[in-house]
Amino acid sequence: MKIAILGGTGPEGSGLGLRWAQAGHQVIIGSRLAEKGQQVAAELKSLLPSGDISGADNLTAAQAADVVVLSVPYEAQSPTLDSVAGALDGKLLVTVVAPTRKPKARVWRLESGLSAAEEAQQQLGDATRVVAAFQNIGAHNLKDPAAELDCDVLICGDNKDDKQVAIDLCTDANMRGVDAGALQNASVVEGLTSVLIGINIRNKVGNAGIRITGI
């Protein structure tokens, strides 16, 4: 698949991109500035010379892709989606966004009463299908594609086929994806990010995660 990662220059987006490139996908690192996307793409290529990795501005990346991943801070979500308006029509958007603000260990309830993923779906309208995934993984170790991460990925969305694409992307990134229900449930998965940040702080670790047991 051709995967664009909007805001793919950060540690999580670039780490996922590297893993997907290693799995054989064509990866486009998107950024507000094309040069920054190209620079990070070049860095990833140096780690994985065989990888099909390029960089572009977010709009160009979104236009070229089959699946678009949104990996920006919550504050940048709405303007980033605006900047690629139209290019997401008919496509699947996998959003990694988890809203946090200081104190980050405290769950942030958005004013809308919705999850960030539902806000994205509202903004984009029905032409784009939105799935939430990868909110609860640490960026730590992502760039070592052989490293198995001791965590599961909870996936929320309203369409089973779209969630299966996200589950397959988890597998390709060497993680297990678990269907966590409707897009509405993303508020819980996004909030878990703050819970895990607090667990990291209190336990003086850097990579607390969750596993689903009993399945």
Residues 66-105 that bind its own copies (CB under 8 A): 105
202 binds its own copies (CB under 8 A): yes
Binding string to its own copies for residues 146 to 175, with x set by CB under 8 A, is what? Answer: ----xx--x---------------------
Beta carbon of residue 33, minimum distance to its own copies (angstroms, whole number): 34
**What distance in Å separates the CA atoms of residue 31 and residue 34, rounded to the nearest whole number?**
6
**What distance in Å separates the CA atoms of residue 91 and residue 70, rounded to the nearest whole number?**
13
Six token digits for residue 201: 């702080």
Six token digits for residue 194: 């703050």
Choice between 36 and 176, CB closer to its own copies:
176
Please list the residues that pair with 93 across neighbouring strands. 68, 130
Choice between 86 and 109, CB closer to its own copies:
109
**What distance in Å separates the CA atoms of residue 25 and residue 44, rounded to the nearest whole number?**
14
Q: Which position among 46, 50, 90, 113 is part of the footprint of its own copies (CB under 8 A)? A: 113
**What distance in Å separates the CA atoms of residue 109 and residue 113, rounded to the nearest whole number?**
7
Residues 174-193 that bind its own copies (CB under 8 A): 178-182, 184-185, 187-189, 191-192
Q: Which position among 32, 36, 45, 106 is part of the footprint of its own copies (CB under 8 A)? A: 106
Q: Which residues contact 200 (CB under 8 A, 6 or more apart)?
A: 206, 207, 208
**What distance in Å separates the CA atoms of residue 148 and residue 142, rounded to the nearest whole number?**
9
Six token digits for residue 103: 């104190």
131 binds its own copies (CB under 8 A): no
Choice between 12 and 57, CB closer to its own copies:
12
CA dihedral 182, 122, 83, 32 (to 10 degrees): -40
Q: Which position among 43, 76, 144, 198 is part of the footprint of its own copies (CB under 8 A)? A: 198
> By the criterion CB under 8 A, which residues form the site for its own copies?
105-107, 109, 113, 138, 150-151, 154, 178-182, 184-185, 187-189, 191-192, 194-196, 198-200, 202-203, 205-215
